[in-house]
Copies of this chain bind each other. A is one copy, B any other.
Amino acid sequence: MTGASFWSQFELRQLRCFVAAAEELHFGRAAQRMNMTQPPLSRQIQLLEHVLGVKLLDRTSRAVKLTPAGRVFLLEARRIIRLTESAAMTTRRIASGEAGTINIGFTAASGYSFLPRLLLRMGSGAPNIALALKEMVSTDQVESLLTGRIDVGFLRPPIDRGEFSTLRVAREGLVAALPSGDERLAKASLSLADFDRKPLIMYAPEGARYFHDMLSAQFEMAGVSPQFVQSLSQIHSMLALVRAAIGVALVPEAATSLHFDDVHFRSVETQPPQPVELYAAWRSDNDNPALAAFLDQLRQDED
């Protein structure tokens, strides 16, 4: 080894010894507090002073006093030690899943009703888990799950990837969105036949594959052929067209929390009665401990 103080960096042990000595102003008692004897404690403090190049304690055989530099360094040392303790604590909490951050992807439609309820639930059941929300369509969610940009996604089936675990978190019925003046508003509840050969605003197969396929299947089963006047993928855009009386739209129940003037909702009988499903999906090998706590809360919500 070449040098004397090549390693001009102190260790936490030295800080702890110094704080003890500075608080006791007595090497013997400080050593006792540190569970050691006095000579090594003396040595640790000498080492610390040596790497700093600064005398921290003025010690005569009769009394120990802090130097001005020592007074300042004592404050710094205490801060550092506090920081190490809190760092250890928060890290343990994160590892245990008690705290942490979860990145969440969600579809626009799930944001209307399901997500607000989820946030409330998590706020009380897992208050130290921060939720970072990103709206994205289902296909983007799958991509983001694979790259790890999100930990969990709330999306529409089908989810076929083998590396995912899933959980159905919501099921809901369809409602019709009708403009003011539409004669079908007279009925309390509609059937699919009410849309046969009538203008209907449909979901685009690219941007809203799930709704497009699901509705197509429903109409097929019922033997009904609406007149598709427009294809869109975002529900609030569809309602805007409904308001303009371009046609009517079939939307998930949750969309009734969107209030448009002159747009009214009527329930629609389907088979099954709640054909719209929302799933949570996450990588089975996701190692975010907060995710486990999050999923526990989610499962309790099922009841």
Contact = CB atoms under 8 A, between A and B. Distances in A.
A90 interface: yes
Given A10-B12, A88-B52, A94 B80 contact: no
A189 interface: no
A53 B95 contact: yes
Interface string A34-69: 000000000000000001111110100000000111
A270 interface: no
Interface string A181-208: 0000000000000000000000000000
A289 B69 contact: yes
B84 A9 contact: yes
A143 interface: no
A89 to B, nearest CB: 10
Contacts of A13: 11
Given A9-B12, A95-B53, A95-B55, A83 B76 contact: yes
Identical chains in the assembly? 2
A132 to B, nearest CB: 13
Interface string A12-42: 1100100000000000000000000000000
Contacts of A73: 87, 91
Nearest to A68: B288
A290 interface: yes
A52 B100 CA distance: 16
Contacts of A55: 95
A79 interface: yes
A69 B94 contact: yes
Nearest to A88: B52
A182 to B, nearest CB: 52
A69 B91 contact: yes
B289 A91 contact: no
Contact of A87 (B16, B76, B87, B288): B76
Given A10-B84, A11-B13, A80-B84, A72 B94 contact: yes
A86 B69 CA distance: 14
B87 A68 contact: no
A287 interface: yes
B91 A72 contact: yes
A94 B77 contact: no
Contact of A92 (B11, B12, B54): B54
B54 A91 contact: yes
Contact of A79 (B16, B58, B77, B83): B83
8 contacts: A11-B11, A53-B92, A53-B95, A54-B92, A54-B95, A58-B287, A69-B95, A80-B80
